[in-house]
Structure 1
Amino acid sequence: MLKPWRALVSALLIPIVLAGCKPDAPPQEPRVDPAAYDAFYVWPGVRPAADLRPRTLYLLNAEVRKVGAPRFERLRMGVPRLHGTAVWLVVRTERLDWDAATYAALLGDLDRWQQAGNEVVGLQVDFDAATRGIAGYAEFLTDLRQRLPRHWQLSVTGLMDWSAHGDPHDLARLGSVIDEVVVQTYQGRSTIPGYGAYFRRMENFPIPFRVALVEGGTWQAPAMLAKQPLFRGYVVFLLRSGAGR
């Protein structure tokens, strides 16, 4: 029988021994550091930090909201001149029943930005098209493509679920209309869990694509991206103004 003081020592040592037997915690996924990238989503009110060297910027320029009649709501008052940077103007839309005034305003902004001396690559449409709604979305984009001068490219944002459950025929039709898809891997300020499973299904994705990451989100590049011939790189969604870094 253990003496009282020996029993006390044993009681204190047991938790320490057991703690040492626990398996190591799995390594944490690295966080997205904007300084490691050169393409960014920039929403109004956010300025890239001075240490970033953007080669490509996706700038939210306007919205078409769901309430009321279609209306092109411009979010940027001025037109800066961005030297040495390729620019995509982004329009975020909650509806696809655009009217003539909406198209005219959109095309007018592309002209204004180009005439200001910017290297305007084209237009990106940011629309939450459900996977089962790709066919209807392709019809809208076909009409938009016909209105858009050929020297500008057409980009869209896309869900990771398109790769898992998208109809191959609908994706092929979409690919005949647009120049790229930027696949969103985040919701709000966080990376969507389980993104690796989606990317394993993208080996035969038929459209050139970039991958959008959120600043500070977790990200470990799936191995298949290095082998996917249509993978065009990353775009980082900036959350903070450069003054706050």
Structure 2
Amino acid sequence: MRFIVGLFLGVLLAGCEQHVAPPLDQQLYIWQRQWTPAHEPALRDSRNDFSTLRVLALQGFAGARWSRARVDPALLKADGRPLIAVIRLDGQLKSLDQEQVTAQILQVVADWQAQGLTLRGIEIDHDAGNARLAAYAEFLKHLRSALPPSLPLSITALPAWLGSAQLPALLQSADSSVLQVHAVSDPRLGLFDPDQALKWAKAWSRTTEKPFYLALPAYGVALLADDGAGPVVESEVQLERGGQRQELLADPLLLSQLAKALRDNPPMHLAGLIWFRLPLANDRRAWSLTTLRAVARGDQLASELGVTLSEHDGLYEIGLDNPGNLDKAWPARITLQARDCAGADALAGYSLQQSPDLLTFTRLREGRLPAGGQRAVGWARCAIIDQGGSHVDP
């Protein structure tokens, strides 16, 4: 009888036991084709929050054209995090020459190893249409047989592949997959939809029995006027064409909510999140690293935009600062109470309207002040500027 009671209590306690899901792994894409000195501080400051680096290594284009990313092996060796080389194969390629593509990939592996880099995997990023998934699956099978058995192979995957009869064969050769849930439809509809992303993640978890990751956006793009072949997208590199640009930016607040939902109730087989992309200090269309780290950690997000004044012999330098952890759009208008101003002017991005007791700076173009950042908006030579009388309009 005592044994039965003990057994019953054990079952009861097991049912009440809290099963805490392990934290989701956080990784980073490095997508710059040309490495610069700005990579060193970006790598250093991201090291504590992101476990693995997925580095653009090679791109294949139509016409058998190949482009190597010029990475800095010394920086990667000093960084010490696991490396996955990403091979981008243009989705517009009419077919994949198995022998040629495989030879290019094996050469990347050999070259990186010769530079002292230890690869922990290869990722193939190929946006194949559903009609070409069977051929893509054959290529992956061929590539898997050519790669060292100890080198994991992953693939970037599209939500459009869900429901395809070819998907099981496609996933068979890969050790893991990375489901891309941003910029997957008409960009005019937006860069990212968190509700749709969560639905896709749950659907993918029912499709694969292997680990998978979600690729999430930490960047923005600009849409230029339609040239007849669809909207033109401008990303890291500015295009040499005029016209107005419609800026689209992934919202850190929405991504933070999605990340929390995934941490609290992760879909089956979800191994982690991969953020696109590592932001450099001069990357004008990416979140600041401060904001990206806060989102990845699950920190409360807040921006604290304020006016700063620096005065010397009656000359005031007028600026903005953002001591919070959330990037903030430049304010539309800044007004300052001032008296006896002999001169004043605005700096790039703002115009100035001046009245006897008021300075008004009006935004001329869109911009963002990164978390922890500062920028000057103008100057004035006045008897006094009342910082307590300043006002910032969103």
Tell me, yes or no, whether TM beats 0.5: yes
Q: CA offset at residue 153 of structure 1? A: 1.3
**Which AA in structure 1 matches 2:274?**
V
In structure 1, C-alpha distance between the alignment counterparts of 2:206 and 2:263, rounded to whole Å: 10
User: 1:32 — aligned with what?
Assistant: none
Cα distance change on mapping 1:132 and 1:232 into 2, 3 Å: farther
Cα distance change on mapping 1:224 and 1:130 into 2, 3 Å: farther
User: 1:234 — aligned with what?
Assistant: 273
Aligned residue among 54, 71, 89 for 1:58: 54
User: 1:180 — aligned with what?
Assistant: 176
**Which AA in structure 2 matches 1:161?**
A
Larger-Rg structure:
2
Cα distance change on mapping 1:102 and 1:71 into 2, 3 Å: farther
Aligned to 1:92, the other structure's residue is in SS state strand
User: 2:96 — aligned with what?
Assistant: 97
Count matched residues: 205
In structure 2, C-alpha distance between the alignment counterparts of 1:205 and 1:99, rounded to whole Å: 26
Moved more, 109-118 or 153-162: 109-118
Moved more, 215-224 or 111-120: 215-224
User: 2:118 — aligned with what?
Assistant: 119
In structure 2, C-alpha distance between the alignment counterparts of 1:160 and 1:118, rounded to whole Å: 33
Retained in 2: the 8 A contact 1:62–1:76? no
Retained in 2: the 8 A contact 1:123–1:154? yes
Q: CA offset at residue 202 of structure 1? A: 3.0
Aligned residue among 154, 179, 196 for 2:198: 196
In structure 1, C-alpha distance between the alignment counterparts of 2:59 and 2:266, rounded to whole Å: 36
Identity across the alignment (%): 25
Q: Between Structure 1 and Structure 2, which shows a larger proportion of helix residues?
A: 1
Cα distance change on mapping 1:229 and 1:173 into 2, 3 Å: same
Q: Does 1:210 align with 2:213?
A: yes
User: 1:71 — aligned with what?
Assistant: 65
Q: CA offset at residue 151 of structure 1? A: 1.8
> Which 5+ residue runs of structure 2 have no aligned equivalent?
1-23, 220-249, 289-394
Cα distance change on mapping 1:177 and 1:84 into 2, 3 Å: same
In structure 2, C-alpha distance between the alignment counterparts of 1:131 and 1:148, rounded to whole Å: 25
Structure number with the bigger relative contact order (C-alpha 8 A, sep ≥ 6) is 1
Aligned to 1:186, the other structure's residue is in SS state coil
In structure 1, C-alpha distance between the alignment counterparts of 2:100 and 2:132, rounded to whole Å: 25
In structure 2, C-alpha distance between the alignment counterparts of 1:37 and 1:52, rounded to whole Å: 14
**Which AA in structure 1 matches 2:148?**
P
Q: How does 1:140-155 map to 2 (within 5 A)?
A: 140-155=139-154
Cα distance change on mapping 1:63 and 1:203 into 2, 3 Å: closer
What is the root-mean-square deviation of aligned Cα atoms in Å?
A: 2.9
In structure 1, C-alpha distance between the alignment counterparts of 2:28 and 2:149, rounded to whole Å: 24
Q: Does 1:129 align with 2:123?
A: no
In structure 2, C-alpha distance between the alignment counterparts of 1:234 and 1:241, rounded to whole Å: 20
> Which 5+ residue runs of structure 1 have no aligned equivalent?
1-35
Aligned residue among 84, 87, 102 for 1:88: 84
Retained in 1: the 8 A contact 2:59–2:66? yes
In structure 1, C-alpha distance between the alignment counterparts of 2:169 and 2:133, rounded to whole Å: 9
Q: Deviations over 1:105-146 (max 9, x none)?
A: 321221222233323012111110224433221111111111
In structure 2, C-alpha distance between the alignment counterparts of 1:106 and 1:146, rounded to whole Å: 13
Aligned to 1:228, the other structure's residue is in SS state coil
Q: Does 1:166 align with 2:130?
A: no
TM-score normalized by the length of structure 1 = 0.71
In structure 1, C-alpha distance between the alignment counterparts of 2:171 and 2:107, rounded to whole Å: 26
TM-score normalized by the length of structure 2 = 0.46
Q: CA offset at residue 215 of structure 1? A: 0.9
**Which AA in structure 1 matches 2:206?**
N
Retained in 1: the 8 A contact 2:28–2:53? yes
Retained in 1: the 8 A contact 2:124–2:155? yes
In structure 1, C-alpha distance between the alignment counterparts of 2:265 and 2:70, rounded to whole Å: 36
In structure 1, C-alpha distance between the alignment counterparts of 2:44 and 2:171, rounded to whole Å: 36
